[in-house]
Structure 1
Amino acid sequence: MLSFKGMRFPIDVVLVCIRWYVAYPLSYRHIEELMEERGVSVDHSTINRWAIRFLPLIEKLSRKHKCRVGTSWRMDETYIKVKGVWKYLYRAVDKEGKTVDFLLTAHRDMAAAKRFFDKAMGENGTPEKIAMDKSGANKAAIDEINDNRAVSIIVRQVKYLNNIVEQDHRAIKRVTRPMLGFKSFRSASSVLAGIELMHMIRKGQFSIDGATAISFADQFYALAGQVRLA
């Protein structure tokens, strides 16, 4: 469970603010205004600090409740602007469109691709097949992984197979677009963890008691280990 010890604001205010930020295409100033309308005065910079501090922790807590994904993956990268420079968000979904994993990296090369695959396989097990684009770096990363395996992962570099992950990027970009880029790599990584978490909640990827009967918002609060106050 997260510790909110020493917080000046109630837990439910913190969680509502950070959930809004990663669930909808809003800026921190938009959320400041929305909270003001509800009689809560909280500065946008405070909301920013909450997001950076708590979102990666909630996403980490959520992993133990995540349902298993399939063994046929579609992997691709998309671009995220950090301090005016494009960085790379590696992502994979299974053939049903369920999110496998994600990783923000500074570079787009074999080492970055290998880090992504190591993370994804460490959390989700080894896939039987991976579809990807014609990137030589991504293929080289899988080749290195296969060199140490008795049974090789099948690699398919066929563009149409990757349509599903390319389409899935749009849900992430829809939320990040109004943010107009991130001020630091840490803030980008933290917020993207929250955006990916909300996207997975919407796709029904978590095993939560009564999940089919509760809202996406309450699933987020449940994964944070908290009960939303009325």
Structure 2
Amino acid sequence: MVGGQSVGSASPSYRGHRYPAEVISHCVWLYHRFPLSFREVEELMLERGVIVSYETIRRWCAKFGQAYANGLRRRRPRTGDKWHLDEVFIKINGDLKYLWRAVDQDGNVLDILVQNRRDKAAAGRFFRRLMKKTRTVPRVVVTDKLRSYGAAHREVMPCVEHRQPKHLNNRAENSHQPTRQRERAMKGFRSVGGAQRFLSALSGISPHFRPGRHLIPASDYRAEMTVRFAIWEQITGVAGLPTAL
């Protein structure tokens, strides 16, 4: 559960924006939470009486998406000591690339990285990036049977237990599903940098609003979502402001 986390750093600055913070944060939430295009978000806002162009929404998502994701990550509980890693192919401007993802035993996304290959060097690069970003070393690493993981593991973190049994890595594999939904909705990604930036923000925002509805009673789900929306308002700087929608 996310509730009970302490307040993090200051919210992003909206200086120079003529639209209120609530409108901006709501558009960013819509785009990263649901498989919508910028034009569809524009239409939804128009229905609510807010006239804003899809290009403006695109700029808001590019500017604030990662900042919001970082704010949410700072509110999460301590990173788990069991990491699940997986990689899937994605097409970027027609070229085959690989999306590497790591989650802990609670399903929290630790990091994602778009790379050209899935060899030993790529696996090692992702291992080092994870340890640097989380500032910790896991107790256990769980992967599929790709040989690159074993080779990189022996070089980068030989003292960490490495498990590769079949079907044990479903947690990481399932974590790719929101990415696949967005990939289809966006008809693919146009650049490696654009894919990295968007997917990094998506992996921070989307899971925050997916507390596992099928695992808890409806009343507990609603209570948890109320807490999560309150956290969203705090990290986006909307909490306490008069409503604009």
TM-score by length of 1: 0.84
1:102-152 per-residue CA deviation (whole Å, 9 max, x = no partner) reads 2233433333322322222223311111111122222222222135xxxx0
- Structure 1 spans left out of the alignment, 5+ residues: 205-210
Identical counterparts, % of pairs: 35
> Is residue 106 of structure 2 the alignment partner of residue 96 of structure 1?
yes
Shift of 1:61: 3.0
Q: 2:153 pairs with 142, 145, 148, which one?
A: 142
> What root-mean-square deviation, in Å, do the aligned CA atoms of Structure 1 and Structure 2 show?
2.4
Aligned residue for 1:214?
Answer: 226
> Is residue 210 of structure 2 the alignment partner of residue 199 of structure 1?
no
> Is residue 30 of structure 2 the alignment partner of residue 23 of structure 1?
no
Runs of 4+ residues deviating >4 angstroms: none
What is the alpha-carbon distance in structure 1 between the residues aligned to residue 155 and residue 242 of structure 2? 50
Q: Which moved more, 1:1-10 or 1:168-177?
A: 168-177
Helix, strand or coil at the partner of 2:131: helix
Q: 1:13 pairs with 10, 13, 23, which one?
A: 23
Helix, strand or coil at the partner of 2:168: helix
- Superposition map of 1:1-230 within 5 A: 1-124=11-134, 125-146=136-157, 152-202=159-209, 212=224, 214=226, 216-227=228-239, 229-230=242-243
What residue identity is the alignment partner of 1:6?
A: G
Helix, strand or coil at the partner of 1:159: coil
What is the alpha-carbon distance in structure 2 between the residues aligned to residue 85 and residue 216 of structure 1? 37
Give aligned pairs, total.
221
Specify whether residues 58 and 107 from structure 1 end up closer, same or farther in structure 2 by C-alpha distance, changes over 3 A only: farther
Aligned residue for 2:219?
Answer: none
- Structure 2 spans left out of the alignment, 5+ residues: 1-10, 212-222
1:63-108 per-residue CA deviation (whole Å, 9 max, x = no partner) reads 3222113212211012333223233221122233332322233433
